[in-house]
Chains A and B, each alone.
Chain A
């Protein structure tokens, strides 16, 4: 646990913002913008009828599926591109061009190809997280220090041993960094994708609450839940960074 003195400033700022929010809503006599307390009761209402868990589950399912598919493609592809010069020379320019295209720009194409359903957001998540993971994996292979590759060559080990005991463990920390970036982007994108196309998910919750009777308390509740889950996903990846197989990278 962090000492109280370290978390105190953050808590104080948080409380001040909350108080300011309350004060502004009270002072402007707004009928649409909710007070913090209305957000709490709104959230309890959603949790009570079970729809909150459905939205969270739908969003997490889409992120989980899209992200896993992206990982299954990005890691082997990144290792191959990093190791084989020709593969890098051929594929890297294409990926560098596709990478800056916002996943949101893919939405019309996703709807055209996959229609409105679960496949479209999963596709968008795949597109958004596959590139950062490829880039990180390639960079990981390219930055393996020559002294380690030389040592492996010196002992004359097989390709299999070279990959299993040198290349993969050397790149693993970078792969995990790529996964953390990829998961972060995936979470950003799922919400955006759900705002447009679907009947469930946290993104849908936000847009639907606005459309169906200006329930801004539920809009803000949705936003806060997205933030909290995003934070939790990031924490989860940080736990992966602390695993024994990659600890050497941070211990030096």
Chain B
């Protein structure tokens, strides 16, 4: 996997000295202090950190929904001003529109693009995530796992260069979450996206990522970086995965 940019090409995502604080009734709360890293094209990078460390704020900034107080984010070398369909955010709560059918949701991002066969494209991605036969269902008729699949498909339809995944499977039970991870890996093998994954689940990070960044808390900085030189498919029970897991957990201050 390409993890350096020796070829002179700008990295897909470049985060430079991003800092953010919030003003509350009791004073100023520093959430992010000087975060810098980059993600190369086609790379999958996971960010792990304790809860409340500002992971979601960081993701919000990188996806263009919030502005940093200091520092900057660039996508393919271009400074980020607002969210764009170059990178689609998939979050823990999910954002599949409950008033649209699965097919209408999948076609939502294609609005404003004029080409034949929008519906075929939507149905192709519905089938890819295993929702064939549910194109006309409403979200409230689907299970939690199927909703996640729909959300993933809606993102994939617009062929984004980047997938921003903020605790994407955390609301699912352990079994379903593992299943969705395998599904994601299968899709990533087919369509090479750049992925930035935020998770509190160290095992999930090692399972999918090429590189794992560990955040410290208050103020939040990148405390350590771990490469994951384990070829896919990764066996979670293998010594390589378990040793790395223990090392990352130790970095987070937990003995396992």
Q: Knowing A154-B63, A155-B158 are in contact, say whether A147-B88 is a contact too (CB < 8 A).
A: no
Contacts of B141 in A (CB 8 A): 251
Decide if A156 touches B98 in the complex (CB within 8 Å): no
Decide if A169 touches B99 in the complex (CB within 8 Å): yes
A-contact 0/1 string along B112-154, CB 8 Å cutoff: 1000000000000000000000000011110000000000000
Decide if A155 touches B108 in the complex (CB within 8 Å): yes
Cβ of A252 within 8 Å of any chain B Cβ, yes or no, is yes
Contacts of B95 in A (CB 8 A): 147-148, 150-151
- Specify the main secondary structure of chain A where it touches its partner: helix
Interchain CA distance A249-B85 in the complex, whole Å: 28
Cβ of A245 within 8 Å of any chain B Cβ, yes or no, is yes
Cβ of A11 within 8 Å of any chain B Cβ, yes or no, is no
Nearest B residue (CB) for A245: B99
Interchain CA distance A243-B141 in the complex, whole Å: 16
* Tally of B interface residues using CB under 8 Å: 26
Cβ of A166 within 8 Å of any chain B Cβ, yes or no, is yes
Nearest A residue (CB) for B164: A154
Contacts of B89 in A (CB 8 A): 150-151, 154
- Specify the main secondary structure of chain B where it touches its partner: loop
How many residue pairs between the two chains, A and B, have CB atoms under 8 Å in the bound complex? Answer: 68
Contacts of A247 in B (CB 8 A): 138, 140
Cβ of A158 within 8 Å of any chain B Cβ, yes or no, is yes
Interchain CA distance A222-B97 in the complex, whole Å: 47
Interchain CA distance A170-B95 in the complex, whole Å: 13
Contacts of B99 in A (CB 8 A): 169-170, 172, 245-246, 248
Cβ of B238 within 8 Å of any chain A Cβ, yes or no, is no
Interchain CA distance A251-B98 in the complex, whole Å: 10
Q: Knowing A148-B97, A150-B83 are in contact, say whether A157-B140 is a contact too (CB < 8 A).
A: no
Contacts of A170 in B (CB 8 A): 99
Cβ of A165 within 8 Å of any chain B Cβ, yes or no, is yes
Point out which of B83, B84, B100, B139 has the most chain A C-beta atoms below 10 A from its C-beta.
B83
Contacts of A161 in B (CB 8 A): 108, 111-112
Nearest B residue (CB) for A164: B111
B-contact 0/1 string along A169-193, CB 8 Å cutoff: 1101000000000000000000000
Interchain CA distance A161-B108 in the complex, whole Å: 9
Decide if B93 touches A248 in the complex (CB within 8 Å): no
* B88 in complex: contacting residue of A154, A158, A249, A252, CB < 8 Å: A154
Q: Knowing A148-B97, A165-B97 are in contact, say whether A156-B84 is a contact too (CB < 8 A).
A: yes
Decide if A154 touches B139 in the complex (CB within 8 Å): no
A-contact 0/1 string along B51-84, CB 8 Å cutoff: 0000000000001010000000000000000111
Cβ of A153 within 8 Å of any chain B Cβ, yes or no, is yes
Nearest B residue (CB) for A153: B83
Contacts of B85 in A (CB 8 A): 154-156
Q: Which of A178-213 contact B (CB under 8 A)?
A: none
B-contact 0/1 string along A208-232, CB 8 Å cutoff: 0000000000000000000000000
Query: Which 6 A-B pairs have CB atoms at the shortest separation, nearest pair first?
Result: A169-B99, A151-B95, A155-B109, A251-B140, A248-B98, A147-B95
Q: What are 17 A-B contacts with C-beta separation under 8 Å?
A: A147-B95, A148-B95, A151-B97, A154-B83, A154-B84, A156-B83, A157-B111, A158-B111, A165-B104, A165-B108, A165-B111, A169-B99, A170-B99, A246-B99, A248-B98, A249-B98, A251-B138
**Contact residues of A with B, CB < 8 Å?**
147-148, 150-158, 161, 165-166, 169-170, 172, 245-249, 251-252
**Contact residues of B with A, CB < 8 Å?**
63, 65, 82-85, 88-89, 91, 93-95, 97-100, 104, 108-109, 111-112, 138-141, 158
Known: A154-B88, A245-B99, A252-B98. 7 other contacts (CB 8 A): A152-B108, A154-B63, A155-B88, A157-B109, A161-B108, A248-B138, A252-B140
